[in-house]
């Protein structure tokens, strides 16, 4: 087991960037950028750099044209891995956790969001929908999802921004170009790209192509996964992942099935296999009152994590219901309406219980 103090250096190993001119491919030697490096690597003299732009593709042109569906790109995140991160949210997930904070990431295809609190009841959306999918019920537009073709006309027409389509198709090239703006922040903070969702492995070809392109451009990668995928899928991408943010929902399989919709067998097998292969792993455990905050679950989680040599830290993520409005926007029912977040005292006690297994533990991601 690595000590907590060892974590930072392992995260920063890709902070070195050999910068080439984006067109000529010639290595730059002027205008150095500042690299924040851990003490043991600071003497390695990272290459100087003139150009923040990503390097041009020399190969893998087909791969960078691979398309996938994402629903958000969040810049300047400090909770999704080391340093300053740009987090890409993939659409599609095989689980349906009752506490899911990103319900718009569950379905693989784009979907229409309606924010009733912004709607003015003007009817402009009804007028532009050539599918006849929207009708007014008093002042409220009601959309028939069977008829909707997701053309986006009503989104454009809605002055109040009450309508939005969650999900867009992008190529790896487009996405990496968008991410490329943040490379200077990655370099200065030891950050990089975090791929989240949804479940990124749900789009494994797209994930693989994106990870490869990030590696080619020397961008540090974190993969936020629930581990519910075939080992073949995980095996194909793991060499391009610098750190796994591995969600461990709840240890009891009966509860796991009940509250996420699937067994945890595959996730646990994959976790063990990743650890045996020596991958850097941060376990993420959601603390949901009445589901995963019990003594038994914490004990089993601690015993498991302590037995996995490459688990570097356990993050306890306190349940919150700030995403409840998203369920209404998607016309979904939120089951945990009555559940209250755990108190700070309870989170501290649970963290202490895990530390007794010799694990570095952090509250929050």
Site residues, ligand SF4 (CB under 6 A): 112, 119-125, 128-129, 131, 133-134, 141, 143, 148-154, 157-158, 160, 162-163
Q: What is the smallest separation between the CB atom of 129 and ligand SF4, expressed in angstroms?
A: 3
Angle at 87 (CA atoms; ends 83, 92), nearest 5 degrees: 150
Nearest to ligand SF4 of 137, 345 (CB atom): 137
Nearer Cβ to ligand SF4 (3/130): 130
- Please identify, using beta-carbon distances, which residue of 52 and 151 lies nearer to ligand SF4: 151
Indicate the residue among 146 and 232 with the shorter CB distance to ligand SF4. 146
Interhelix angle 172-180/204-216, nearest 10 degrees: 40
Q: Measured between alpha carbons, how far is 358 from 301 in angstroms, rounded to an integer?
A: 12
φ and ψ at 192, to 5 degrees? 170, -155
**61 class by beta-carbon count within 10 Å (0-12 exposed, 13-18 middle, 19+ buried):** exposed
Contact 15, 191 (CB under 8 A): no
Of 241, 257, 225, 190, the residue nearest 12 (C-alpha): 190
Contacts of 232 (CB under 8 A, 6+ apart): none
Least distance between ligand SF4 and beta carbon 133 (Å): 4
Q: How many Å apart are CA 364 and CA 13, to the nearest integer?
A: 24
By C-beta, is 98 or 153 nearer to ligand SF4?
A: 153
Rg (CA), the chain: 22
Q: Closer CB to ligand SF4, residue 34 or residue 130?
A: 130
At its nearest, how many Å lie between ligand SF4 and the CB of residue 169?
15
Nearer to ligand SF4, 75 or 147 (CB): 147
- Asked if 225 contacts 200 with a C-beta cutoff of 8 angstroms, the reply is yes
Q: How far is the CB of 329 from ligand SF4 (least distance, A)?
A: 12
Say if strands 361-363 and 168-171 run parallel, antiparallel, or are unpaired.
Answer: unpaired
- Identify which of 54, 271, 287 has the alpha carbon closest to the alpha carbon of residue 172: 54
Q: What is the closest distance, in whole angstroms, from the C-beta atom of residue 121 to ligand SF4 in the complex?
A: 5
CB 332 → ligand SF4: shortest distance, Å? 18
Residue closer to ligand SF4 by CB (options 53, 157) is: 157
CB 212 within 8 A of CB 198: no
- Minimal distance, residue 71 CB to ligand SF4, in Å: 16
Smallest distance, ligand SF4 to C-beta of residue 167, A: 12
């Amino acid at each position: 087991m690595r000590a907590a103090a060892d974590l930072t250096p392992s995260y920063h190993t890709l902070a070195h960037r050999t910068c080439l001119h984006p067109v000529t491919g010639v290595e730059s030697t002027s205008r150095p950028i500042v690299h924040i490096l851990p003490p043991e690597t600071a003497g390695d003299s990272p290459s100087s750099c003139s150009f923040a732009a990503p390097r041009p593709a020399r190969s893998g042109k087909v791969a960078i044209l691979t398309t996938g569906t994402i629903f958000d790109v969040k810049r300047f995140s400090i909770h999704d891995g080391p340093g300053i991160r740009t987090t890409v949210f993939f659409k599609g997930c095989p689980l349906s956790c009752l506490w899911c904070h990103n319900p718009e990431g569950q379905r693989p295809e784009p979907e229409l969001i309606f924010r009733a609190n912004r709607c003015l009841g003007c009817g402009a959306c009804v007028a532009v929908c050539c599918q006849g999918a929207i009708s007014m019920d008093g002042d409220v537009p009601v959309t028939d999802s069977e008829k909707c073709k997701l053309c986006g006309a009503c989104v454009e027409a809605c002055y109040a921004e009450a309508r939005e389509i969650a999900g867009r198709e992008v190529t790896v090239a487009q996405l990496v170009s968008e991410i490329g703006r943040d490379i200077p922040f990655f370099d200065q903070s030891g950050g990089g790209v975090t791929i989240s969702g949804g479940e990124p492995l749900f789009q494994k070809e797209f994930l693989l192509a994106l990870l490869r392109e990030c590696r080619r451009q020397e961008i540090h990668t974190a993969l936020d996964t629930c581990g519910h995928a075939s080992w073949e899928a995980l095996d194909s991408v793991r060499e391009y992942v610098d750190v796994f943010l591995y969600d461990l929902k709840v240890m009891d399989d009966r509860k796991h099935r009940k509250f996420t919709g699937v067994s945890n067998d595959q996730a646990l097998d994959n976790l063990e296999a990743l650890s045996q292969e020596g991958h850097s792993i941060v376990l993420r455990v959601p603390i949901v009152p009445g589901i995963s905050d019990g003594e038994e679950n914490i004990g089993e989680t601690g015993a498991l994590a302590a037995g996995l040599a490459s688990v570097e830290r356990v993050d306890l993520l306190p349940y919150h219901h700030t995403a409840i409005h998203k369920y209404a926007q998607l016309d979904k029912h939120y089951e945990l309406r009555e559940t209250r977040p755990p108190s700070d005292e309870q989170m501290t006690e649970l963290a202490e219980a895990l530390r007794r297994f010799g694990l570095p533990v952090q509250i929050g991601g």
